[in-house]
Amino acid sequence: MVGLTGGIGSGKSAVAARLAGLGAVIVDADQLSREVVAPGTEGLAEIVATFGDRVLGPDGALDRAALGSLVFTDEAGRRALEAIIHPRVRTRTAELVAAAPPDAVVVNDVPLLVESGLGPTYHLVVVVQTALSIRLERLTRDRGMAPAEARRRIAAQADDVHRRAAADVLLTNDGTRDELHRAVDALWADRLLPYAVNLRDRQVAQPPRTDRVEADPTWPEQYARLAARIHRAVTPADLRIDHIGSTAVPEPDSVDVIDIQLTVRRLGDADGVLAEQLAEAGFPCLPETGRDAPRWPERVHGSADPARPVRLYVREAGWSGGRS
């Protein structure tokens, strides 16, 4: 499950199209948001009941521009609209995902992924980033927007800083279409396909790295994304998660492995359901690691993502090895 996002005019749709051509199953949130309010749907009927028939065009279809003008500066109206559309889009998304082949790479094209806080629901988040000047040029040239309208639409979305913080993969689209395609092809071959295979087979991508590298200032952000996925995946949801190891307190050089500690009440809780929850979230168990250590009983999980080595230690509360 891949989340794909990017600001308006970034070229996100071109990335989705390329991924579809490579074999990905694309779930387009914008398209679904139109389908669930098409003429004759319950969604459209509820919108008319809420906002009146002034949001309908002469053909009886939703006049999206008229509706947008009503809710753009009306917070209550926007939330009412979201309450109508979002549950229906989520239901339809779940249906499409369930219908996908079990070994599929499902790419969820979600324009407001960052704004909606959906990052932890995916195994990987891909963000398409493009310089502001290029986005403005595309919107005015290709979509016929006035410059002021283009700037307003861009300002209404998350900024690049917040998108970068949510990104496991950052695709820069400041060059040619061929350059973008090469980057997408490499992402598909080197990361997405192997990740899908590892998830299916419940296997760790690679052994931990042992070479030391210069400290990466994004390690805390990377940990935060991983921890959010773990929090969402496991039960109970209040289990303690800590960033440990050399990437938690970066030294001039460290081993590039994100070490995470998940504390459980009893070590027996680490097996069965919890182990499967972690594997489904992208953290398969290394079954022979740490089970018999007398001082530091634990279960150890790795990462199915070939580009992000992780060691996830599941430890019992109160043991010396379970203290941060």
Q: What is the pLDDT of residues 91-149, one digit of tens each?
A: 999 999 999 998 899 999 999 899 989 999 999 999 999 999 999 999 999 888 899 98
pLDDT tens digit sequence for 168-191: 999 999 999 999 999 999 999 999
Task: Report residue 324's pLDDT band, with 50, 70 and 90 as the boundaries.
Answer: very low
Q: Is residue 7 a contact partner of residue 130, using CB atoms and an 8 Å limit? A: yes
Q: Give the residue among 37, 27, 32 at the shortest CA–CA distance from 84.
A: 37
Q: Name all domains of the chain by residue range, CATH numbers in brackets.
A: 2-200 (3.40.50.300), 212-322 (3.30.460.10)
- Mean pLDDT over 43-50 rounds to 94
The closest of 86, 101, 84, 80 to 43, measured between CA atoms, is 84
pTM of the model: 0.88
Q: Any idea which residue has 């295979």 for tokens? A: 197
Distance CA 181, CA 5 (A): 16
- Can you count the helices (H) and strands (E) in the chain? 12, 12
